[in-house]
Structure 1
Amino acid sequence: MSANDVPAPGPADAAQIVLNTIRRPVIMVDADDHITYANADAEDFFRVSAAMLARATLERFVPFGSPILALIEQVRERLAPVNEYRVDISSPRLGVEKIVDIYVAPVPELAGSVVVMFQERSMADKIDRQMTHRGAARSVTGLAAMLAHEIKNPLSGIRGAAQLLETAVSDEDRALTRLITDETDRIVSLVDRMEVFSDERPIERYPVNIHVVLDRVKAIASNGFARKINILEDYDPSLPPVFANRDQLVQVFLNLIKNAAEAIGSRTDGEITLSTAFRPGMRVSVPGSQDRVSLPLEFCVHDNGSGVSEDILPILFDPFITTKPNGSGLGLALVAKIVGEHGGVIECESTPRGTTFRVLMPAWKDTSLPQDDHKGGNPA
């Protein structure tokens, strides 16, 4: 029998194929709330097979008093679909911080039956946050360009005048001229840091061994600002190369580890854990391209510090947001800019027992080329 002679699937088979193709958990429950159908994603979502789902009611798999049950009853009464957003269905079975959008629709052909589709908010929120970070970085780009032009030139004149005055004033007044010089140097340094945001040149990317990057960053931190902190490793040695710029990755993880070390402070039991893993990644758009790439590489920096306050967490990667008395609030904004320009995503999870920064990045597709393991240029 040729390929052209293969019979087309029947209506039931076609429906099954379509529902399994939908990358959302979809279930159908009857008038007694028994689960009569579950697609492949629903099995993953509820962490149990369709056969097991079919043996129980929906109440067994959602938290007690879940609003899902009330929504289903509402749909049965009105015979009209209902949407509900940001519903918390967290439970030991489903996991913590399980926030979903729910779409419930009646099945007219089967009295009392309804179809329920779940959309996990975590994925949508990651993309929303990343778009916000990129927008914030672009706003700083214009500000940086303006500051560089309007501030640095007059500052050099002020500094020069203060140096001339220093040779002609008394010892008591010389301290004031030195104060002027030091403060102008500090402002110039701040403007120089902001100028990084206005660099719109394309990023030179190539296959990079992330463990070489992390080893270098660990060596810098252990011999400097984190010398009193225990830095642990939890690496996946089989990880493929990341498609990135090595020097910019060093800058990203140096900032994240420095941030973690400052969160730990003077604690004697301070620990920072660097971890790498391969995860089924989400797909996002790459800046400057219509392509969408998968982000299967996960790199984490975890500390056991006091955590980030809830009011700061949603805007943590925005420019000028800082909890440090003398901080500029540009470090994490720069991290978000670099990760975003690589087509990646960065997120932060924090509790009073510690904070985790998670970076999701694209992998290098062509494994025929050697990965970068000793320098920042293209692989030879």
Structure 2
Amino acid sequence: MTLPAEPLAKVNGASTIRNEGGLGEDAVVHALPDPVLVIDADDRVRYVNTAAEQFFATGRDSLIRKSIQELTADDSPIVDLVYRVRRSGVSIAQHGMEMCSPRDGTRRVDIHVGVLDQSHGDVVLCLRQRTFAETISRHLTSRDSVRSVTAMAAVLAHEVKNPLAGIRGAAQLLEREILGEGESLARLICDEVDRICSLVENMEVFADERPIDIEPLNIHELLDHVRRLVEAGAEGAKLKFVESYDPSLPPVLGNRDQLIQALLNLVNNAVEACSEPGGEITLLTAYRHGMRATVPGSKGRLDLPLEVAVRDNGMGIAEEVRANLFDAFVSGKRGGTGLGLALVAKIVRDHGGVIEYESRQRRTEFRMRLPVASEG
């Protein structure tokens, strides 16, 4: 987006430049559908357009002279982005950033920051809020991936697993009859067949399309159970767990074992990401009003107000795997099968929910949005 810099640069003087048709360029900025703010050298708002007032649900008089930290948060990446643009003199765009504020909660936005008046340290900030429809679109893409794995699992179970049993039996006979190097090679064949069978068995989970048994569940009890399991398995690791729960959450309708498996996969991934000292994993829950969506294959609109999140302060997710993170066989870990997050996506889908994530260095967060009740 190219913004008319001259009228905004003169905001202190309240000057307005008009084109040949007599239309004020300031009026053009106010007509833009995306929020536009001018931030001065003290990180305070000097100018907002009408869309910015609507975005923050606050009038111009209340926004002017507020600091960015008041509008977002002290540790918001937007603050760092403004600093980098001011220091480098180069415009920067970031997509899918998380914008948090005490008043409005968490919103995902695309942000463009450009230099407006370098001599005074003024920058212009343009925001575009990501819609929930975009989240649903990403969810449907991962659902299609799970469907392809389902078909593959059915083929593997029949065409691969049965012959592997014969190969293993033959290798065991050879192991008994030969000595020396041949014996160790026969043992190697058995071990590799076992490994492949284990992989096929893991994939068979995707082929199970039966309706799940659901019941009202306390999501905090499930999170506590998962935390105890992980702490017992990671004994000796210097990890800190932080809980940020909304105590007023209603029960979620779900399958206990499956939700535990999904949460366990997410928390174990967070543990592996926090390999350095000072690792911290935060478990969060919240109730988000108005989270509704129509998903193909569902009846009516889905209410997805219950948010369950796992956040870590590890190194973040590798850029090259982010676009297909929930696809099968995609893994950012050396030696990973790439089935863990695909299974999480399937479990969330089977519960009528949506999963999304946000990742940058020292902050990765996976969020499950789940239904608590269905309306007719």
Query: TM-score scaled by structure 1?
Result: 0.68
1:123 aligns with 2:132: yes
Greater CA drift, 90-99 or 139-148: 90-99
Separation in 2 of the partners of 1:224 and 1:92?
33
Cα gap change, 1:96 to 1:235, in 2 (>3 Å): closer
Query: Is the CA contact 1:206–1:364 (under 8 Å) kept in the aligned structure 2?
Result: no
Query: Is the CA contact 2:97–2:358 (under 8 Å) kept in the aligned structure 1?
Result: no
Cα gap change, 1:358 to 1:91, in 2 (>3 Å): closer
2:299 aligned partner: 290
- For 2:249, the aligned partner's letter is L
Alignment partner of 2:366: what SS? strand
1:98 aligns with 2:97: no
Separation in 1 of the partners of 2:356 and 2:202?
23
1:163 aligned partner: 172
Separation in 1 of the partners of 2:181 and 2:141?
50
Cα gap change, 1:42 to 1:323, in 2 (>3 Å): closer
Cα gap change, 1:281 to 1:316, in 2 (>3 Å): farther
Cα gap change, 1:220 to 1:281, in 2 (>3 Å): farther
1:148 aligned partner: 157
Query: TM-score scaled by structure 2?
Result: 0.68
Separation in 2 of the partners of 1:194 and 1:88?
31
Query: Is the CA contact 2:98–2:358 (under 8 Å) kept in the aligned structure 1?
Result: no
Greater CA drift, 167-176 or 43-52: 43-52
Cα gap change, 1:269 to 1:32, in 2 (>3 Å): closer
Separation in 2 of the partners of 1:362 and 1:285?
13
Taking only the aligned residue pairs, the percentage that are identical comes to: 50
2:324 aligned partner: 315
Q: Aligned-pair distance for 1:51?
A: 8.5
1:19 aligned partner: none
Cα gap change, 1:208 to 1:286, in 2 (>3 Å): farther
Residue number among 243, 250, 253 corresponding to 2:253 in the alignment: 243
Query: Is the CA contact 1:278–1:297 (under 8 Å) kept in the aligned structure 2?
Result: yes
Cα gap change, 1:48 to 1:247, in 2 (>3 Å): same
Q: Aligned-pair distance for 1:47?
A: 3.0
Q: Aligned-pair distance for 1:242?
A: 1.1
Cα gap change, 1:227 to 1:220, in 2 (>3 Å): farther
Query: Is the CA contact 2:139–2:354 (under 8 Å) kept in the aligned structure 1?
Result: yes
User: Structure 1 unaligned runs (5+)?
Assistant: 1-29, 54-60, 64-85, 101-117, 367-380
Separation in 2 of the partners of 1:89 and 1:312?
17
Separation in 2 of the partners of 1:333 and 1:89?
23
Q: Aligned-pair distance for 1:235?
A: 1.0
Cα gap change, 1:92 to 1:336, in 2 (>3 Å): closer
Q: Aligned-pair distance for 1:224?
A: 0.4
1:16 aligned partner: none
Separation in 2 of the partners of 1:348 and 1:242?
21
Separation in 2 of the partners of 1:148 and 1:88?
39
Query: Is the CA contact 2:146–2:206 (under 8 Å) kept in the aligned structure 1?
Result: yes
2:207 aligned partner: 198
1:371 aligned partner: none
1:263-317: per-residue Cα shift (whole Å, max 9, x none)?
A: 112x121111101111124212367532212111111101111001222212111
Separation in 1 of the partners of 2:131 and 2:168?
50
Matches within 5 A, 1:167-186: 167-186=176-195
Greater CA drift, 281-290 or 317-326: 281-290
Matches within 5 A, 1:272-291: 272-285=281-294, 288-291=297-300
Query: Is the CA contact 2:240–2:281 (under 8 Å) kept in the aligned structure 1?
Result: yes
1:254 aligned partner: 264
1:132 aligns with 2:134: no
- Compute the RMSD of aligned alpha carbons: 3.4
- For 2:304, the aligned partner's letter is L
Separation in 2 of the partners of 1:197 and 1:287?
20
> How many equivalent pairs are there?
289
Matches within 5 A, 1:1-380: 33=26, 44-49=54-59, 98-99=109-110, 120-225=129-234, 228=237, 229-265=239-275, 267-285=276-294, 288-364=297-373
Cα gap change, 1:44 to 1:207, in 2 (>3 Å): farther
User: Structure 2 unaligned runs (5+)?
Assistant: 1-22, 34-49, 64-70, 72-77, 79-93, 112-126
Query: Is the CA contact 1:276–1:300 (under 8 Å) kept in the aligned structure 2?
Result: yes
1:220-263: per-residue Cα shift (whole Å, max 9, x none)?
A: 10000465122221111111111211111100000001111111
Cα gap change, 1:246 to 1:87, in 2 (>3 Å): closer
- For 2:324, the aligned partner's letter is I
Alignment partner of 2:152: what SS? helix
Greater CA drift, 204-213 or 284-293: 284-293
Separation in 2 of the partners of 1:298 and 1:88?
18
Alignment partner of 2:243: what SS? strand
Cα gap change, 1:269 to 1:119, in 2 (>3 Å): closer
- For 2:260, the aligned partner's letter is V
